[in-house]
Chain A
Amino acid sequence: MSIILDKVDYVYNGGTAYEKRALNQVSLKIQDGEFIGIIGHTGSGKSTLIQHLNGLLLASSGGIYYNGRDIYEEDYDRKELRSKVGLVFQYPEHQLFEPTVFADVCFGPKNLGLSRKESELRAFSALRGVGLPEEYWYRSPFELSGGQKRRAAIAGVLAMKPEVLILDEPTAGLDPLGRDEILNQIASMHRELNMTILLVSHSMEDVAEYVNRIIVMNQGSILLDGAPKEVFRYRQELEAAGLSVPQVTELMQELRDRGIPVSPEVTTLKEAKEAVLQAFSKHRQA
């Protein structure tokens, strides 16, 4: 099970004054069960890229293969693909429309042709999955707070039981608490449901702690692709692309530059604490 992109190009408004090349020869392979962070400056093509993965945008050139099948083949069912590759757009709360949260979450499963009972079962477990307290389920989506609405909208995609879940900047516009809650929830979905997850963000801080692979986009191309520790070694390249390494990583690299022997490959606060303590104890022994 995998998604393969082969030299995908995408041009918006080809042939007009507004022509814009948003993807440039993007090739990549996504394996089952991966938890990937897609990072890039605003306008680097992240949203464009992910809309190719479920066939909403069709590449100007290049090929895309889902589980070994060419999704651009004449008889490929792209509607089915959209249910397998669940895509949560940026600000997904703007798409809520039913009178109650619960009914809105049922929209996806109902479109799959499931029975009412099955749809409701799925809505039930999806809402549980995103951790929205039951007291909000039968309210109007417009009465919920920003973070709650966002959860409801994510549940709307989860209820389709996709094999791959893609989230476009799920933390945009949330306060720090809401941000941590959503990210933790996504991480636990990855752990418990063993879903393949792609998390799009323009902030390293968001993803460093959670994902096991980072793809860095810059001006429509893939700049770096690897484990977080590998990617963060390229601090200068990242900065040139308008990105920064996580603050702790930056701190460790600065310390090292000043002759304090800490590992520069630190990405989380916990690791940083250990690295500093280790350096201290070495210092004491010497």
Chain B
Amino acid sequence: MLRDITIGQYYPSDSILHQLDPRVKLMGTLVYVLSLFFFRGVSGFLAVTLGLAVLIRLSGVPVGYMVKGLKAIAVILILTGMFNLLLTPGEPLISFGAVKITEEGIKSAAFMVVRLTYLVLGSSVLTLTTTPNRLTDGLEKALRPLNRIGVPVHEISMIMSIALRFIPILVEETDKIMKAQLARGADFESGNLIKRAKSMVPLLVPLFVSAFRRANDLALAMEARCYNGGMGRTKMKPLKYERRDGAAYLLLALYFAGIIALRIWLKF
């Protein structure tokens, strides 16, 4: 049940996307997200759909596995859809008393749900195809210029990669504690809202205790190995661009130009 949480997780494979330099993938994610906000109309929609399909295909991650990740945001998707459907002003198509559904409502609901779904699917490709280590390296290097204006780039990337690394650990821990409490007769599923909220206590208390314990252990382990931030630190495997990375940048630029062109010239 809990193991369905795939956001931020790495999926091992040796697809072309896995081999790309993490900086390319970071840029790609940025471009992709921007394109989701730029596209207009059916033609734009088809273009981003094509882009997403190609991305997923190239990633070598099973589609089912990716779609499972959507479960975690199902509630958000449904709420967004409902709000847009019911609260968008315009000419009512159907109305039951105070509730009216407008054409604009249907359009904007569909648009928002698609946009959110694509956002999650597309950005999960980044983490699914990049190990936390490479992601940190990529981020650190891509953001390096900010160092000059005093942004602690190394620390930020380190925090991010630790957070990513902790997701599966905490999921696993939750699963374990949940099972242990189930074995003591706990019930997480039945009862009204208040009862269910209360039933979370035996899960959350040990989870927080364990998170703090782990954080503490990690800090100690890092200190024991003389970790003192990014100053003067060298890499065993420094990032280097290959030819395929150049090609990928080129494709990205073409994709983005295409989306903008569609927005300007094609209006359907």
Binding partners A and B: yes
Q: Which residues of A contact B (CB under 8 A)?
A: 13, 15-17, 51, 54, 56, 79, 82-83, 86-89, 92, 94-97, 107-108, 111-112, 142, 156-157, 160
A17-B12, A51-B179, A89-B179 known; A107 vs B184 contact (CB < 8 Å): yes
- Is there contact, CB below 8 Å, between A94 and B206? yes
- A96 to B187: give the CA distance in the assembly, Å: 16
Residue of B nearest to A107 (CB): B184
- A87 to B187: give the CA distance in the assembly, Å: 16
- Is there contact, CB below 8 Å, between B179 and A56? yes
- A195 to B13: give the CA distance in the assembly, Å: 48
Tell me the minimal C-beta distance from B222 to chain A in angstroms.
22
* Extra inter-chain contacts (4) besides given A95-B181, A97-B206, CB under 8 Å: A17-B12, A92-B180, A97-B202, A157-B184
- Is there contact, CB below 8 Å, between B184 and A94? no
- Is there contact, CB below 8 Å, between B182 and A56? yes
- Is there contact, CB below 8 Å, between A94 and B11? no
Task: Give 1 or 0 for each of B170-214: 1 = CB within 8 Å of chain A CB.
Answer: 000000110111111111000000000000011001100110000
Interface residue B65 (Cβ < 8 Å from any Cβ of A) = yes
Residue of A nearest to B203 (CB): A97
A88 surroundings in chain B (CB, below 8 A): 183
B12 surroundings in chain A (CB, below 8 A): 17
A107 surroundings in chain B (CB, below 8 A): 184-186, 202
- Is there contact, CB below 8 Å, between B183 and A82? yes
Q: Which of A16, A54, A94 contacts B65 (CB 8 A)?
A: A16
- Is there contact, CB below 8 Å, between B182 and A82? yes
Interface residue B57 (Cβ < 8 Å from any Cβ of A) = no
Residue of A nearest to B62 (CB): A16
A87 surroundings in chain B (CB, below 8 A): 183
Residue of A nearest to B202 (CB): A97
- Is there contact, CB below 8 Å, between B186 and A111? yes
- A30 to B186: give the CA distance in the assembly, Å: 26
- A79 to B189: give the CA distance in the assembly, Å: 12
Interface residue B3 (Cβ < 8 Å from any Cβ of A) = yes
- A87 to B176: give the CA distance in the assembly, Å: 12
Main secondary structure of the interface of B (DSSP, over half): helix
- Is there contact, CB below 8 Å, between A13 and B3? yes
Tell me the minimal C-beta distance from A79 to chain B in angstroms.
7
B180 surroundings in chain A (CB, below 8 A): 89, 92, 94-95
Size class of the contact patch on chain B? 20 to 34
B210 surroundings in chain A (CB, below 8 A): 94
List the 9 closest A-B pairs by CB distance, nearest first: A111-B185, A97-B205, A95-B180, A108-B184, A87-B183, A89-B180, A97-B202, A56-B179, A97-B206
- A157 to B202: give the CA distance in the assembly, Å: 14
- A157 to B184: give the CA distance in the assembly, Å: 6
25 examples of A-B residue contacts, CB within 8 angstroms: A13-B3, A15-B62, A16-B62, A56-B179, A79-B185, A82-B182, A83-B185, A88-B183, A89-B176, A89-B179, A94-B176, A94-B177, A94-B180, A94-B209, A95-B180, A95-B181, A95-B202, A95-B206, A96-B206, A97-B202, A107-B184, A108-B185, A111-B186, A157-B183, A160-B184
A112 surroundings in chain B (CB, below 8 A): 185
Tell me the minimal C-beta distance from B202 to chain A in angstroms.
5
- A142 to B208: give the CA distance in the assembly, Å: 13
- A92 to B184: give the CA distance in the assembly, Å: 11
Within 29-84 of B, Cβ neighbours of A (below 8 Å) are at: 62, 64-65
B183 surroundings in chain A (CB, below 8 A): 54, 56, 82, 86-89, 157
Tell me the minimal C-beta distance from B210 to chain A in angstroms.
6
- A111 to B65: give the CA distance in the assembly, Å: 36
- A17 to B12: give the CA distance in the assembly, Å: 7
Residue of B nearest to A96 (CB): B206
- Is there contact, CB below 8 Å, between B206 and A111? no
- A90 to B45: give the CA distance in the assembly, Å: 51
Residue of B nearest to A83 (CB): B185
Tell me the minimal C-beta distance from A2 to chain B in angstroms.
20
A142 surroundings in chain B (CB, below 8 A): 209
A95 surroundings in chain B (CB, below 8 A): 177, 180-181, 184, 202, 206
Most buried by A among B65, B184, B186, B209: B184
B13 surroundings in chain A (CB, below 8 A): 17
- Is there contact, CB below 8 Å, between B185 and A160? yes
B3 surroundings in chain A (CB, below 8 A): 13
- Is there contact, CB below 8 Å, between A79 and B187? yes
A94 surroundings in chain B (CB, below 8 A): 176-177, 180, 206, 209-210
Q: Which of B176, B185, B206 contacts A82 (CB 8 A)?
A: B185
Tell me the minimal C-beta distance from A173 to chain B in angstroms.
13
Tell me the minimal C-beta distance from B125 to chain A in angstroms.
15
A82 surroundings in chain B (CB, below 8 A): 182-183, 185
- A86 to B13: give the CA distance in the assembly, Å: 40
- A155 to B183: give the CA distance in the assembly, Å: 13
Tell me the minimal C-beta distance from A89 to chain B in angstroms.
5
Residue of B nearest to A89 (CB): B180
Most buried by A among B176, B180, B181, B183: B183
- A89 to B206: give the CA distance in the assembly, Å: 14
